[in-house]
Amino acid sequence: MNPPAVTHPNTSTDTDASARQEQTKSANAGDLSASSLTGSSEVRLSRSRQTWTGAGSAAGFVLRYLSPMRRLLTDVLGSESDADRALAILISHLVKAGYSGHAKGRLRDFLILGLRSAAKARVTEIESKAKKAGESFRPRDLDLDSAKTESRRWLSYWREGLLQRTWRALEREQHRERTRAHRIESGEVDAGDAGVVADEPVNDLVHDVMRMVADHSGESSEVIAGRVAELAERSVSAAEVKRQLPIARSLFAQLLADEISLTLENADAKAIQAEISKLGLQKAFSGLQVKA
């Protein structure tokens, strides 16, 4: 069984309630309805027209990418506590001023400028506090080289942040399918509910199958089925793994493309392709029909 060529980073939960609220407001723009979980291998790059520049709440939207931002600030400031304070300064500014007319280009470029400013503001804050307390202060050396738009470290953190969000989106799709399966089994399916189609196969393992194959590359379908069965707490056959894996791969790629499109001002197919290439995410789309 060929494994999906997708990195599975350590997942992390959202650390701010407003971030979850913003995700709900935007209807999880990367998500697909349960009825779209089919065996299609087609990925539409410019499927969504929503971008970061049109977000109603700048602070709420930016919190979606808290993980890569925090990692970079920790490198710049050399302290997690200082990184958290710098993030608070940045988010507070976004709450008050929004994008301040700078909502252009790529979100990651906009953020890196904000992160640099927030890091400097944090150092100034520490210095002012020390002076008021009559304490000595040794100037902090900031690692601003890593806080540049094209720095390898920032691009790496940004890439992993996008993948984390895509994995969580895939997990939500799996949960939605399991809810549909439960309704079918319990006879609760409403014929008028367009989101629930009783005669379609249930694809309630897309996240778990994808995760197990990514984490245990090279194992047989039978072994993967056993691992997935432990997570799903039900019997899972090798045939079921083989059926749901290509669905999971195409869905993951679509969710990733949608997530990337959100971070671009002009999210046309060419721009999305360029960002996929820049971030080294081409393997996620390997073997799939990628269309504009």
**Whole-prediction pTM:** 0.83
pLDDT at 98: 96
Contact 266, 50 (CB under 8 A): no
Q: Which residue has the tokens 């949608």?
A: 258
End-to-end CA separation in angstroms for the chain: 29
* One-letter identity of residue 32: L
Separation between Cα atoms, residue 286 and residue 280, nearest integer Å:
12
Residues 6+ apart with CB under 8 A from 102: 110, 113
Cα separation of 42 and 172, whole Å? 20
Distance CA 60, CA 66 (A): 10
Specify burial of residue 45 (Cβ count, 10 A radius: 0-12, 13-18, 19+).
buried
The closest of 129, 169, 198 to 30, measured between CA atoms, is 169
What are the mean pLDDT values of the chain's consecutive 10-residue runs (292 residues total)? 52 40 37 45 90 95 97 96 98 96 96 97 93 82 92 97 98 93 76 56 94 96 98 95 96 97 96 97 96 92
Structure tokens at 196: 């629930």
pLDDT score of 31:
33
- pLDDT of amino acid 1: 57
